[in-house]
Structure 1
Amino acid sequence: MFDLERVREDTPGCRETVFLDSAGSSLPPQVVVETMVDHLRRETQIGGYRAGSERLDDLAEVKRSIATLLNAAEPATSIALSDSASRSWTDFFYAVPLHAGDRVLISEVEYASNAIAVLQRARATGAIVDVIPSDSTGQIDLTALESLLDDRVRLVSLVHAPTNGGLVNPVAEVVELAHRVGALVLLDACQSVGQLPVDVAALGVDALSATGRKWLRAPRGTGFLYVRAELAAALQPATLDLGSAAWTAADDYTVAAGAARFEFWEHDVAARLGFGAALRYLLDLGPDTVYAQVAERADYLRTSLAELPNVTPLDLGSHRSGIVSFTVAGVEPENVRDRLAADNMIVTVSHRSSTLLDMTARGISALVRASPHYFVSHDDLDSFVAAVACL
């Protein structure tokens, strides 16, 4: 049974604010902060190297927790820890061989960082970038995707849940079509892991990138890459160091096995231990319970805002995530954000530049993004809706 009072007690920040920006950087549970601070104190006593060595088992457990959450096999060889979702995404993408005439498919809700990387490599290699259209609901058009696929497609970049709204794309269906022609599927799960079920075995994705700071409620500077273990062994990362490879002779080196080849030796141990604490907190609550609580709050907020005459809901898709996007008539999104912040209500603004294709097609320059996590109460949501109505 979900205990709202307990999770609110574990989240001091939600007592002071109506916090609706978990799609940006969520409020970590107190145990995450304590875990990090305890380790930093230990570093002041014996230094970072020895303090880190004391926690090797705990650091390995972070990967096991991720594997449990994703239903991933062989965490030691399929999970690489990183400092962000973008780092994980680009590390994998730049390891996929591309040559002149090869094709990369992206969707209309592609995130800016991903799109920039795709365009940069296309310019450097002569690869071709094609955009998969959306269907009438805003989701990726599977019929159009099937018509675009051929044996020149090397990679399909799929955003599970875009940064600028509540849409959820169909993953398993995209993977099934892409694999027919031998294309890889790289899933950007930055906005889905922690708030939606993500089962890599069932979905069949080749790789997946995610961050800790959003729906997983972990510290900034944490993220991970999942790669099918057999695929990881066939890829050569664009950059290596003494953590991802071993210098074996004056003119030779050996790349680490599995996903470890995507990890650099230097990292923030305290942040990763905090990441592990956040993962354990989620697993202890029960992921399915968390997913249901997030979905219920997003639906409640979306429905309540839609009843206001001055609000235009902007979420697409037939299946919705915990992100609720909208505009307020006559009030710029930045002004909405700032006026709400003055009342200790935290939302953010998504601008056209972050999802250029989608927002240009819809004629939107900016929108307000509210993302309630499970620690947000219904009283919080009612207060927020009343504040928006006053705008």
Structure 2
Amino acid sequence: MSSPLSLAAVDGLRALTPGAQGTIHFNHAGASLPSLATLEAIQAQLWREATIGPIEAGAVGREHSERARLFAARLLNARPAEIAVTTGNSPGWGAAFAALGPWRPGERILVGRHEWGGNLATMRLAAQGAGAAIEVIPSDSCGTVDPRALEAMLDERVRLIALTWLPANGGLINPAAAIGRVARRHSIPYFIDAAQAVGQLPIDVVEAGCDILTGAGRKALRGPRGMGLLYVRQDFLSRLAPAFVDTRSAPLNASGDPILRNDAGRFESSEASLALHCGLANALREALEIGIDTIRARIDSIARTLRTQLADIPGVTVLDQGIERSGLVAFNVHGLDPLSVQRSLTAQGITIGSNGVGYTPLDMEFRGLKQIARASVSYLTTESEIGKLLEGIRALTR
């Protein structure tokens, strides 16, 4: 178990984060603030490419890519061969989904109510063209996806169960491992979108029981934008045929035949930004050094404080569901459009997010929400920053 993150340690981490010096940042779920060391890792690789040539600098960059793979495997309790470094959460998720192959009439995809809009778009295009169906797993009274309801829906036509672990539109945390136990009992492929979870929650892919898990570098990990992680369970790999390959994912043998890699690298491209790989490797290293249990404990404490104090402001409604919650805090201010709330706070030097129906359409439509304001915290967030955010919101309600 990691030790608590002291205030002195937080101050030290903030001092090594350029963005923390001039921004009151409450959009860590959109993209967090990278450390100076992460920026320097990216710049060092770019400088090597500029001075000795991009191809010639590739050897060092590939070493950092392998470090990123090793660090990610440690973070997720996976094997390095089960990790692909991708260009983002959606590209990794979409590549894995496409690799399932064509869909047939009558086949069923079961999704949680909180599924990411981009994943839904991908699934709907495939299902509509083939006559397959996408069905929503009921949620329980707390709003989380209900494993018992899922079990009651299953039959031989179900070909995929998909879950977004932490929705983009609020602090709810879905029961990923409980859903995984149902999927494993029935041998149904199980995809987890962990874009918001990676770097914020302790993740054990074995416990989660998933075949695919995707994550983003730019969110809780504080890595560079344009980087993601794709976990592919080794025993599931043979069931996946990538929609396209290149000389990295399927190198040609002596006879000129493409040979698919026998690891998650079959979802990687030879055309990759090694500079961003260097930044991702450093961000992963930093997260592991701090400790994910420590990160989770601090984010949970900060988010609880923020929710409680937001709820005490007249005219503010906190919209988070679930019992266990994340560092995403959704709210609305009565009489004010969430986008105008976001713009007003930006003018005060405070950044928050604002999500519309397209982010989590099934849940937003079910709950009658058109737009939400979202303040998402990091282990870097301080009580002083919370105070300034609350004062800015109070000013809007007067």
Q: TM-score range by the shorter chain?
A: over 0.9
Q: Among the aligned pairs, what percent are the same residue?
A: 38
Residues 368-391 of structure 1: per-residue CA shift (max 9 Å, x gap) = 011010111111101111111110
CA distance in 2, matches of 1:125, 1:263: 27
Q: Does 1:47 align with 2:57?
A: no
Partner of 2:321: 316
Given candidates 255, 262, 266, the residue that maps to 1:257 is 262
Q: Displacement of 1:15 after TM fit?
A: 2.0
CA distance in 2, matches of 1:24, 1:120: 26
CA contact (8 A) 1:14 1:376 kept: no
Alignment match, 2:306: 301
SS in 1 for 2:248: coil
In 2, the alpha carbon distance for the partners of 1:67 and 1:150 equals 33
- Checking the alignment, whether the CA contact within 8 Å between 2:245 and 2:266 is kept in structure 1 is yes
* Residue number in structure 2 paired with 1:143: 148
How does the TM-score come out when normalised to structure 2?
0.95
Q: Secondary structure at the match of 2:190?
A: strand
Tell me if the contact between 1:310 and 1:389 (Cα under 8 Å) persists in the aligned partners: no
> CA shift at 1:196, angstroms?
1.1
Corresponding position of 1:13: 19
**Displacement of 1:229:** 1.1
Q: Equivalent residue for 1:212?
A: 217
Check if 1:385 corresponds to 2:377: no
Aligned counterpart, 2:232:
227
Structure 2 residue aligned with 1:112 = 117
2:73 and 2:113 map into 1 onto residues whose CA distance is 30
Between 369-378 and 53-62, the greater mean CA deviation after superposition:
53-62
CA shift, 1:172, in A, is: 1.2
Would you say 1:101 and 2:101 are equivalent positions?
no
The count of residues paired between Structure 1 and Structure 2 equals: 389
Say whether the 8 Å CA contact 1:206–1:227 is kept in structure 2.
yes
Q: Equivalent of 2:190, from 174, 182, 185?
A: 185
Unaligned runs of 5+ in 2: none
Match of 2:67 among 43, 61, 81: 61
Contact 1:151 1:182 in 2 (8 A): no
Please report how far the alpha carbon of residue 125 of structure 1 lies from its aligned counterpart in structure 2 after TM superposition. 2.4
Deviation at 1:251, TM superposition (A): 6.6
Q: One-letter code of the match for 1:383?
A: K
User: How far is 1:100 from its partner?
Assistant: 2.2
Structure 1: which 5+ residue stretches go unaligned? none
1:33 corresponds to 2:25: no
**CA drift at 1:11:** 1.1
Amino acid aligned to 2:249:
S
Amino acid paired to 1:13? G
- Residue of structure 2 in register with 1:376 after alignment: 381
Query: Equivalent residue for 2:203?
Result: 198
Letter in 2 for 1:313: V
Work out the CA distance in 2 between the residues paired with 1:278 and 1:187. Answer: 22
1:292 partnered with 2:297: yes
Amino acid at match of 1:83: T
- The answer to whether residue 91 in structure 2 is matched with residue 87 in structure 1 is yes
CA contact (8 A) 1:102 1:154 kept: yes
Higher deviation after alignment, 280-289 or 333-342: 280-289
Output the TM-score relative to the length of structure 1.
0.97
* 2:61/2:275 contact within 8 Å kept: no
Q: Say whether the 8 Å CA contact 1:99–1:127 is kept in structure 2.
A: yes
Judge conservation of contact 1:209–1:225 (CA < 8 Å) in 2: yes
The whole-number CA distance in structure 2 between the counterparts of 1:51 and 1:240 is 24
Q: 1:250 Cα shift?
A: 6.5
Distance across 1 between alignment mates of 2:389 and 2:26: 9
Whether 1:267 aligns to 2:265 is no
Is the contact between residue 306 and residue 312 of structure 1 (CA under 8 Å) also seen in structure 2?
A: yes
1:166-192 alpha-carbon deviations (Å, 9 max, x no partner): 010001111111222221110000011
Distance 1:257 1:280, change over 3 A: same
Pairing 1:241–2:260 present: no
Could you tell me how far 1:256 is from its partner in structure 2? 1.0
Report SS of the residue matched to 1:270. helix
Counterparts of 1:371 and 1:148, CA distance in 2: 34
